[in-house]
Structure 1
C-alpha cells in the first residue's frame, strides 16, 4: 500500500478507526480490488468484505441533462469505505416512525453521486450470483445509503455478491428538454428525459466489466428493487441499451406499465423553466444544484418515451418482447397504502363510516374511474363485513392505487410465449406500533435482505421473523442462481399463468394460492388504468 495517495491514506486511516465499532471486526489489512479505473480498498465485517462509494461514473455536474460518462481513472488505491453522496433531491418529509431513522436523509447530496457499493464473501475469483439492488423513492427521492439495504447478511447467507448504487433523480434524471430551446441546441439535451435510467445502464456496464474482481459472475446478474426501484427494473426490461446486462428481475411494489409521453414531459419542462425564471434549457443548465431543486417542485418525474433510450412502453400494449426470456418475480404487500398514505393523515387509522367516501375521493379520485367512492365503500363492506372503516379505506386504496399495475404486468407476462413469471403477496403483519401498519409498503425489504433484527421499527425485531426471512431470502437466492425461486427450503411456487394466477403468500406459514384476491382483482379490472404521471 506504499502508493496510497495522501487523501486516500487519511480516509483509510479513518475507516480503520471506524472498524472498532461494535459488530465490526478490526481488520489487519484492508481488502483491495482492482477495477478498470483503478484500485479500491474496502473493509472487513466478519466474513464479508465491503466496498462503499466506488465511482462508476463521472461527476454529473459535467453532464447535466446528458448521458453519463465513465469515471476518470485514478492512481494509487482509493479508499472506498463510506457511502457516497445522495442525488440532489427535495426534502422527503417527516419520518413515519416505521422506516429506520437513518434510512433517508438529505444531509449529503451532490451531483457527483454515481457511486456504488459492493458486499462480497471474497476476492477469490469465484463466480457468485450478483444481486444488484435499485433503491426506491419513486423517481424523485431517497438513496442506497440506508442500513435497511445493507447487503452483509444476504451476501453471507447466500454466498452471493450484493451491489447497490446512487443515480440521478427528479429533474436531474428525468427532465425532458429535447423539444425546447433553439433548434441548434436541442441535440445537447436529446437524452435529458432518461439520464437517470442511463446512469443505471452505465452502472450495469460497470458490473459486467468489474464484478469478477469482487468474486461475482457477470453472466449471472439479478436486478431487483422496491417501489421506484422496482419501476426502474421494469423500465430497464424495455431499454435496448440494457439488453444482456442482467439475467433475472425481481420487482417489489414497483411496476411501470407505461412511461411518460414526450408531449406531457415537454409540458412539465416548460413549467420548470417558468418556475426557474429562465427561458431556455441552456440557462437551466447553468443554475446551481439548489436553484434547480427549488424550481423542480410540484411535478411528476419519470422515464420518457423519447424514441432513443425508450422506443416503447414496458408493459403496454403487452409485455416488452425485449425481455421475454428474462425470468421475472413481481410482488406487492397486502397493505401498501398504510405507509404510502397513512403517515400524511393520522386520522385515517380511526375513520368512521361517514368519513370513508370523502377520504377515498381525496386519496384516489383519479384511480376510481366512473365508480363513485360510495360504491367502492359499499362493495368492500359487502365483501369484507368484518373490516373497519379504516380497513376498508386502506384495502380500497391499496387495490386501486398500488396493486393494479402489478395485475396488468403479471397478466401480460402470463400470455407471453416463453416468459417465466412468479408472483408473490407479502401478508405478514408487523407488530410494530401496536400493529397499525399491517403489511405495508416496504415491509418485505428487511426479510429479503435478512435484516429483520436490525429493523425493529419495521419488524418488531423478534426472533420469529428469522424463519420467514430465511424462506424469502432462500427463494431470492435460488432465483438469482437458476432463474427459478423453487428449491429446498421454499414452499412449492408454481409459475404465474392465466387463469390460475397462483400467488405465493409470504406469512408465518407461507403457501402458494390460486388468485388469492380474485374478487378485488375483478373489481379493479372494471376501471381503466392510467400510470401515475403518464
Structure 2
C-alpha cells in the first residue's frame, strides 16, 4: 500500500471492464458535506483504475482529456456520476478519469516509502494514457489533464514536475493552485499524530499492517483536530499556509519528485510548452462556511480578528462589506477567505505561465445556486463542465442546461484547439470569461478593487 505504483499484471483473453471499479480507502465526508457532495465509496483491491469513454466511431487522432478528481487529497474517486464522460465522448473527446491514493496512504510522509504516492499514481495513469490511448482512438500528443480542487492542485503540481514532462500538452486547473504544497518536515507532523493515535511507528511496514478502518478513524480524528486548532507551531507553517488549516494532506517538497514550490518552478518555465485554462467560482468558500453554520456564528466584533488570523489585513473587511450591502460578517469573511485561498493563487498561476511565455486563459463561474446561502460556491461548476446536470443538493432542482452547454463546449474547444473561445489572459486588461445564466460574458479585471486590497498589483 505504501510502495510506488506498478503496472497491472497482464492477462490472456478478454477482461470484463464494463463496471466501475473500486475506490481508494477514505472516510465518508463529514456532515453536512455528505449530503451536498456525491461521493460513492466502494473499498476493495484494484482501486488504482481508470475509466475510459470514447466515441462510438472513434477513428483515430482524437483529443484526450484526463480527469483528476478533488476531495482535499483524502476523499473522492472516478466513480462519481458527476464525472461521467459520456458528453465528452459525444463531442469527439476521449475522456479518461483516474483514481489515486488518498490521505496517509497517498500523501503521508512515511519512513520506508516514497513520498507523494498519490502523485506517483497520477503519473502512472498519464503514462498509461501515453502507451495505450491510441487503441481507444486518442492521440497521445493531444492530452489535456484537468482537475478541480485537490485535483486542480494536482494538475498545477504536475505541470511543475520534471517527471511529468511530455505526458500532456494542455492543462485545466479548476479551483486549485500552484501553492498548495508542504515541506516534508511539516507534513510528517500530521502522519506522526496519526501513528501516535494508532500506537505504531511511522513506517510503511507498521502502517501497512493497520486495518483500514482503524487507519481512517485515526486520520479522521487528526483532520478534525487540525481544523479546530490550526496552530502552525504544532502542525507546521507550510501545512497551515497551504490550506488554511482545513486540509491535512498535500503534495510535499521531498527533493525527489518535487524540488521547489510549484509556482516558482512554473514562473521559471517548467511548463512553458503547456497551454493553461484556469479559474474559480465567485464564492468558493461559501461551501465551507454556510452549510456548517460557521458564517452565521461570526459577530462583527470577531470579524477583524478572524481576518487577521487568516493572514489578511483587517482593513480589507470594510471595502468588502461596502461592496456587499446586507451581508453578514460571516459572509464578508467568507468572501475575503475565498479570494485569498482561491482567486489570488489562481491569478498567480496564470501569471507564472505568462512569465514563462505560455498561453493562459481565465474563467470565473458566477451562477449562484438557488439553494439558500450557497451562492456560486466551490464544486458547483462540476456538472456544468461534464454536462451531467441533474437536480442536486448543490445546484437545486432545475440547473440551467444552457449554461452547461456553454461551459462544456469551452472545455471541449480548449482540449481540441487550445482556445476555449475568449481572449488570452494578460496582466494589463486581465480578461476573464464569467459563466453565468442567462448571460456569460468576458469582463476586464473583475473584482480588481478587492484583489488590490489583498496585495495583487492590478495595474489600477
Structure 1 length as normaliser, TM-score?
0.75
In the TM superposition, residue 321 of structure 1 has moved relative to its aligned partner by 1.8
CA contact (8 A) 1:222 1:246 kept: yes
Look up the SS of the partner of 1:308 in the other structure.
coil
In the TM superposition, residue 218 of structure 1 has moved relative to its aligned partner by 1.3
Structure 2: how far apart are the matches of 1:481 and 1:292? 43
Output the aligned Cα RMSD.
Answer: 2.4
| 1:29-78 per-position Cα deviation (integer Å, ceiling 9, x unaligned) | xxxxxxxxxxxxxxxxxxxxxxxxxxxxxxxxxxx222100000122222
**Superposition map of 1:391-430 within 5 A:** 391-416=331-356, 418-430=357-369
In the TM superposition, residue 327 of structure 1 has moved relative to its aligned partner by 0.3
Structure 1: how far apart are the matches of 2:198 and 2:25? 16
**Superposition map of 1:71-220 within 5 A:** 71-96=8-33, 99=36, 103-106=38-41, 108-110=42-44, 112-122=46-56, 124-156=58-90, 158-178=91-111, 188-189=112-113, 191=114, 193-220=115-142
CA contact (8 A) 2:365 2:435 kept: yes
Structure 2: how far apart are the matches of 1:445 and 1:334? 14
Look up the SS of the partner of 1:458 in the other structure.
coil
Aligned to 2:285: 337
Which structure has the higher relative contact order (CA within 8 Å, separation 6+)? 2
**Distance verdict in 2 for CA 1:78–1:504, change over 3 Å:** same
Structure 1: how far apart are the matches of 2:148 and 2:301? 30
Q: Say which is worse superposed, 319-328 or 388-397, in terms of deviation.
A: 388-397
Q: Say which is worse superposed, 507-516 or 284-293, in terms of deviation.
A: 284-293
| 1:2-27 per-position Cα deviation (integer Å, ceiling 9, x unaligned) | xxxxxxxxxxxxxxxxxxxxxxxxxx
**Distance verdict in 2 for CA 1:83–1:361, change over 3 Å:** farther
The answer for unaligned runs of 5 or more in structure 2 is 224-247
| 1:192-229 per-position Cα deviation (integer Å, ceiling 9, x unaligned) | x2110000000011111111111211111111111111
Does structure 1 residue 67 correspond to structure 2 residue 4? yes
In the TM superposition, residue 280 of structure 1 has moved relative to its aligned partner by 4.7
In the TM superposition, residue 476 of structure 1 has moved relative to its aligned partner by 1.0
CA contact (8 A) 1:129 1:161 kept: yes
In the TM superposition, residue 421 of structure 1 has moved relative to its aligned partner by 0.4
**Distance verdict in 2 for CA 1:321–1:96, change over 3 Å:** same
In the TM superposition, residue 392 of structure 1 has moved relative to its aligned partner by 2.3
Look up the SS of the partner of 1:436 in the other structure.
coil
Structure 2: how far apart are the matches of 1:96 and 1:278? 31
The answer for unaligned runs of 5 or more in structure 1 is 1-63, 179-187, 487-492, 528-534
**Distance verdict in 2 for CA 1:295–1:94, change over 3 Å:** closer
CA contact (8 A) 1:448 1:469 kept: yes
Look up the SS of the partner of 1:512 in the other structure.
strand
| 1:469-506 per-position Cα deviation (integer Å, ceiling 9, x unaligned) | 222112111110121112xxxxxx21111122111111
Larger radius of gyration: 1
CA contact (8 A) 2:434 2:442 kept: yes
CA contact (8 A) 2:354 2:426 kept: yes
Aligned to 1:497: 426
Does structure 1 residue 242 correspond to structure 2 residue 164? yes
Does structure 1 residue 229 correspond to structure 2 residue 158? no
**Distance verdict in 2 for CA 1:344–1:473, change over 3 Å:** same
**Distance verdict in 2 for CA 1:451–1:477, change over 3 Å:** same
In the TM superposition, residue 357 of structure 1 has moved relative to its aligned partner by 4.7
Aligned to 1:294: 217
Structure 1: how far apart are the matches of 2:441 and 2:181? 34
Structure 2 length as normaliser, TM-score?
0.87
Look up the SS of the partner of 2:278 in the other structure.
strand
Structure 2: how far apart are the matches of 1:365 and 1:76? 62
**Superposition map of 1:377-392 within 5 A:** 377-385=317-325, 387-389=327-329, 391-392=331-332
Look up the SS of the partner of 1:343 in the other structure.
coil
Structure 1: how far apart are the matches of 2:270 and 2:188? 27
